[in-house]
Amino acid sequence: MAQKPSIPKGTRDFLPADVARRSYVINTIRTHFERYGFLPIETPSMEKSVSLMGKYGEEGDRLMFHVLNSGEKIKKADVAALSESKLGRFTQSISEKALRYDLTVPFARFVAQHQHELSFPFKRYQVQSVWRADRPQRGRFQEFTQCDADVVGAVSPVLEAECIQLFDSVFHSLHLKGATIRINHRNILSGIATYLGPPDRILDFTVALDKLDKIGAAGVFDELKQRGFGEDALTKLTPLLELSGSIVDQLDILESLLKDQPMAIEGIAHLRDVLRFVSPLHVSNLAFDLTLARGLNYYTGIIFEVAPPKTVDLGSIGAGGRYDDLTALFGLKEMHGLGISFGLDRLCMVLEELDLYPSTLQQAVDVIVLHFGDAYVQDLIPHIAKWRNSGLRVLVYPTSHKLKKQMQFANQSNAPWALFYGEEEQKEGILTVKNMGTGETDKINLDVFDTSILTT
Amino acid sequence: MAQKPSIPKGTRDFLPADVARRSYVINTIRTHFERYGFLPIETPSMEKSVSLMGKYGEEGDRLMFHVLNSGEKIKKADVAALSESKLGRFTQSISEKALRYDLTVPFARFVAQHQHELSFPFKRYQVQSVWRADRPQRGRFQEFTQCDADVVGAVSPVLEAECIQLFDSVFHSLHLKGATIRINHRNILSGIATYLGPPDRILDFTVALDKLDKIGAAGVFDELKQRGFGEDALTKLTPLLELSGSIVDQLDILESLLKDQPMAIEGIAHLRDVLRFVSPLHVSNLAFDLTLARGLNYYTGIIFEVAPPKTVDLGSIGAGGRYDDLTALFGLKEMHGLGISFGLDRLCMVLEELDLYPSTLQQAVDVIVLHFGDAYVQDLIPHIAKWRNSGLRVLVYPTSHKLKKQMQFANQSNAPWALFYGEEEQKEGILTVKNMGTGETDKINLDVFDTSILTT
């Protein structure tokens, strides 16, 4: 019986128009990655489970897609674990591989594995799918594409500055205005946490602070109180949440408030170093954001996050930061890393909403050839081959349907030009050339026909 | 404890040089697909198991990678089925999704699902990974890339001719000489099977015939005898295996031998039709191959297979054929289809063995910038931004390592040019430009430096 065709929830088919738009964005990002000296790598879709499990916290382990062992191997299913509801152990007994959850951990594994084949500092980019068994919602899919650029094996504020510049260059090329590149530094957060209360409370502090946007200062205060911070801490925090002025101004204020916190001072100094390299570039919409506290389980220095323009209601479209020692998980120590990532799917949604795709993306074909049937096509075969060799995308209508039907198809194809070859044309050795935009037609001798006239 | 980094068997990491080569081949194929009017689509890596299972025969079902259901859902594991060794039923109880096994069945599902969003005839191409739990060996991987072009919704020998031409154009662009495009027709095979023996024995016949290369005519005869064909059949088969001359000559001989087999005559006529459109194109290495009998479970007309040049010991690098009614599996009837596929991984191996990759692929960076440290980089920042905007791929050495170390890195990077900016350069406002190929250096005023001199 025929099945009603459908795909798993949270996954998508991409029609030609979708692929054209996604390719446009990917190619733009890729071009800029290459201009900044990043080299492409690719890793397998499936990694060994041991390489991924435990690297993304509890949530990551839970949202990982596991691939069942093949053949007889599943006979080893640990039924006892299942009956005790030890699902992790049960999964382990029937699955040794999992789908890539992000591009960073596979990259760390790659660097450790291939360390003797690479020259350091190593700048790599990677554009591949990742999979997460997350509840699907707007802008969140179970299969989506990440575009990552990372450099490992070097520490220099020049690299951080290049990350900021790279975000800016890509958005500029995509004509996307108003995306905000937010930066912060882990050491500033550490310094503030120490300044406010007992040591080692940075996570409690940042979890509360992260909600400032949603619940306001009063809400953050409430939450901090519940997490055991005293009144005194809240008094100290108030001026920190009221920073204003340029980034340099804000860092000045912060420095005077946190002058006794060496961690914070170090973080501030590092951001100043980075800004020295960014300032000649007039990057628009760069912002210091004290509440930015993402990925604290592995970021160790600067933290990036890019928000879409305010008119678009969507989460971050880019992120990144400095992480030291991620490759140590795979036995390679003291390998400093820094990276940024573009979320392709959300970026595409932003461009769509703001109507920023070039109209030329709709043209997947340059010329469509209409005719009276096979005998006519046969005359054209060597000519069509020549046109294609010159780079033209030529769609030959394959059958001898009524001309009306062929014209309808030509219209839907968005081809800017149609070439018609029928009885009269065959007799006279000509082509009728139609500009599909203006509707104008012209008759041209087939043997001298030059495709360079087909401009749009 | 640190893990020794490794990846699942049958999968691969691609280093920058590998990606450059693969991208070169993919881009070449993609360019030609587009010149022939094919439009890109993409489908999810995971399909519902019901969409894939049973579509590829028993072997396909066995080699499919199944994705475990997430979270609590695996509690529904059918333990009884497991204890009865009903592994299929057990798998079904804990997995609803499987990784794409090829691009054809997902395409059929796609066409049925999106039929009202497409205009027919619909020409699509698709370049994506597929996964098979096959025993890894030379040229066979568990994750590999297919490059498919198919047209659905039309029947015309022009389309078959375009498939042949497309194979030829791609190989020509890749400078690959000596690949043989072999063609056959299912109806010719059916006609011969009927001519030789009892009806409905086409599969027995083709299974034996397919081994001609390996076991010779005598071997094929033995095997046919075992499968119940009489002496008489073998006598009839002998002249069929001895066809020689041009394709048209061979079809002539075949026609006279099979004149009483209407199916065969129809297949021969169809191939002649196709050849009419191919012959003006001087396609090299097109061959009629009576033993070609691939994909008989779904091919209904012409069958293609491409063998690499004889000097390379590797299986087919391309394949395809006409299939009618594949979309009927998903409820869409009478949708004729025709398609070809390039096996990217094997094609890359062939180019590698024959040393056919352009040497420019080794240059992933155009210019490398060497310097005495951050303070020097700062002067260059606006200039580097300008060079990158002009399209140049510029790698800035990120730290102030000793110049010797930087030069060593520059050599390994394969960049054709190095720009050096140190104390003297800063004082005089110049750049030292080094041609890494010839070793020549030049000093150029930084403000008038024009990147167009950096040609290779």
| pLDDT tens digits for range B251-274 | 999 999 999 999 999 999 999 999
> Rounded to an integer, what distance in angstroms lies between the CA atom of residue A179 and that of residue B342?
41
Query: Which of B63, B80, B305 lies closest to A77 in space, CA to CA?
Result: B80
Closest Cα of chain B to A194: distance in Å? 30
Q: What is the mean pLDDT of residues A213-219?
A: 88
pLDDT of B199 reads 72
The one-character DSSP state at A137 is B
- Token readout for A395 is 């769609």
Note the pLDDT of residue B376. Answer: 92
List the single residue in A with minimal CA-CA distance to B332: A2
Instruction: Tell me how close the Cα of B281 comes to any Cα of chain A, in angstroms.
Output: 6
Contacts of B85 in chain A (CB under 8 A): 75
Residue B2: predicted pLDDT: 64
Mean of the pLDDT values across residues B224-241?
88
Question: What's the confidence (pLDDT) of residue B294?
Answer: 78
Of chain A, the percentage scoring pLDDT greater than 70 comes to: 99
Q: Do A374 and B169 touch (CB under 8 A)?
A: no
pLDDT digits (tens, 9 = 90+) for A389-405: 999 999 999 988 889 99
pTM given for the model:
0.95
| Closest Cα in chain A, distance from residue B310 (Å) | 27
Q: Which of B312, B322, B317 lies closest to B342 in space, CA to CA?
A: B317
Q: Which domains does chain A have, with CATH numbers?
A: 16-353 (3.30.930.10), 363-454 (3.40.50.800)
Q: Report d(CA A376, CA A426) in Å as an integer.
A: 7
Among A2, A79, A398, whose Cβ lies nearest the Cβ of B154? A398
Please tell me the distance from the alpha carbon of residue B357 to that of residue B24, in angstroms, as a whole number: 8
**pLDDT at position A401, please?**
86
Of B25, B52, B124, B42, the C-alpha closest to B350 is: B25
pLDDT tens digit sequence for B49-99: 999 999 888 889 999 999 999 988 999 999 999 999 999 999 999 999 999
Binned at pLDDT 50, 70 and 90, residue A366 comes out as very high
Taking 90 as the threshold, does the pLDDT of residue B101 lie above it? yes
> For residue B215, how many other CB atoms are within 10 A of its CB?
13
CB contact under 8 A, B82 and A79: yes
Q: How many CA atoms lie within 13 A of A111 on its CB side?
A: 29
Confidence of residue B401 (pLDDT cuts 50, 70, 90): confident
> Which chain A residue has the Cα nearest residue B12?
A44
pLDDT in tens, A372-430: 888 899 999 999 999 999 999 999 999 888 899 999 999 999 999 999 999 999 999 99
pLDDT for residue B200: 78
**Chain B residues with CB inside 8 Å of A124's CB?**
16
- Looking only at the bridges linking them, the beta strands covering B302-307 and B318-324 are antiparallel
Q: Nearest-CA residue of chain A relative to B13?
A: A43
Task: In whole angstroms, give the CA distance from residue A11 to residue A141.
Answer: 6
pLDDT confidence tier of residue A2, bands split at 50, 70 and 90: low
pLDDT, tens only, B326-339:
899 899 998 999 99
Q: Which amino acid is at B35?
A: R
Which amino acid does the sequence have at B328? A
pLDDT at residue number A297:
74
Contacts of B330 in chain A (CB under 8 A): 2-5
Selecting from B43, B74, B396 the residue whose C-beta is nearest the C-beta of A90 gives: B74
CB contact under 8 A, A77 and B87: no
Average pLDDT, chain A: 93
- Residue B456: which pLDDT band, with cuts at 50, 70 and 90? low
More confident residue, A182 or A217: A182
- Pair of tokens at residue B146: 């297919």
Higher pLDDT, B247 or B197: B247
If you average pLDDT over residues B290-312, what whole number do you get? 90
Give the minimum alpha-carbon distance from B44 to chain A in angstroms, rounded to a whole number. 6
**Torsion (CA) B19, B24, B26, B32 in degrees, nearest 10:** 170
How far apart, in Å, are the Cα atoms of B262 and each of A90, A370, B219, B301? 59, 33, 29, 14
Mean pLDDT of chain B: 93
Contacts of A34 in chain B (CB under 8 A): 364, 393
Place of tokens 């920073």: A243
Which residues, in sequence order, are CB contacts of B439 under 8 Å at separation 6+?
Answer: none
**Euclidean distance between the first and the last CA atom of chain A, given in angstroms as a whole number:** 48
Tally C-beta pairs within 8 A across A and B.
Answer: 324
Mean pLDDT along residues B188-217: 86
**Residue A315 contacts by C-beta under 8 Å, 6 or more apart in sequence?**
A139, A346
B-chain residues near A382 (CB < 8 A): 280-281
Identify from A1, A4, A15 which residue to disrupt to test chain B contact, counting B C-beta atoms within 10 A and taking the largest count: A15
> Counting Cβ atoms within 10 Å, is residue B227 exposed (0-12), middle (13-18) or buried (19+)?
middle
Categorize the per-residue pLDDT at A1 as very low, low, confident or very high, splitting at 50, 70 and 90: low
How do residues B334-361 score in pLDDT, each as one tens digit? 899 999 999 999 999 999 999 999 999 9
Q: What does each C-alpha distance from B399 to A156, A441, B289, B369, B402 come to in angstroms?
A: 6, 62, 62, 11, 9
Q: Return the residue in B65, B325, B392 with the most chain A beta carbons within 10 A, the one to mutate for interface testing.
A: B65
Angle at CA of residue A222, ends A216 and A227, nearest 5° = 125
Q: Determine which of A93, A103, A381, A387 to mutate to test the interface with B (most B C-beta atoms within 10 Å).
A: A381
Mean pLDDT of A420-443: 95
On the question of pLDDT at B415 being above 80, the answer is: yes
Q: How far is B143 from chain A (nearest CA, A)?
A: 7
Beta carbons of A87 and B75 less than 8 Å apart: yes
Looking at residues A244-268, what average pLDDT do you find?
95
Residue with tokens 């004889």: B310
Q: Is the dihedral of CA A42, A48, A53, A59 positive or negative?
A: positive
pLDDT for position A453: 84
Residues of B in contact with A32 (CB under 8 A): 388
Interface residue of B25, B39, B169 to substitute, partner A, most A CBs within 10 Å: B39
Most confident of A195-204, A215-224, B436-445: B436-445
| Nearest residue, CB atoms, B4 vs list A119, A142, A331 | A331
> Which residue among B113, B117, B378 places its CB closest to the CB of A6?
B113
Whether residue B1 is predicted with pLDDT greater than 80 in this model: the reply is no
Q: In angstroms, what separates the C-alpha of A232 from chain B's closest C-alpha?
A: 41
Please tell me the predicted confidence (pLDDT) of residue A85: 92
Contact list, A19 vs chain B (CB under 8 Å)? 39-42
What's the confidence (pLDDT) of residue A432?
96
pLDDT at residue A231 is higher than 90: no
Quote the CA–CA distance of B27 and B22 in Å, as a whole number: 8
Closest CB to B41: pick one of A15, A37, A119. Answer: A15
pLDDT at residue A422, rounded to an integer: 94
Task: Find the mean pLDDT for residues B220-239.
Answer: 89
| pLDDT tens string A64-85 | 999 999 988 999 999 999 999 9
ipTM: 0.94
Strand partners, A394: A367
SS3 A394: strand
A120 DSSP assignment = S
Write down the pLDDT at residue B74.
92
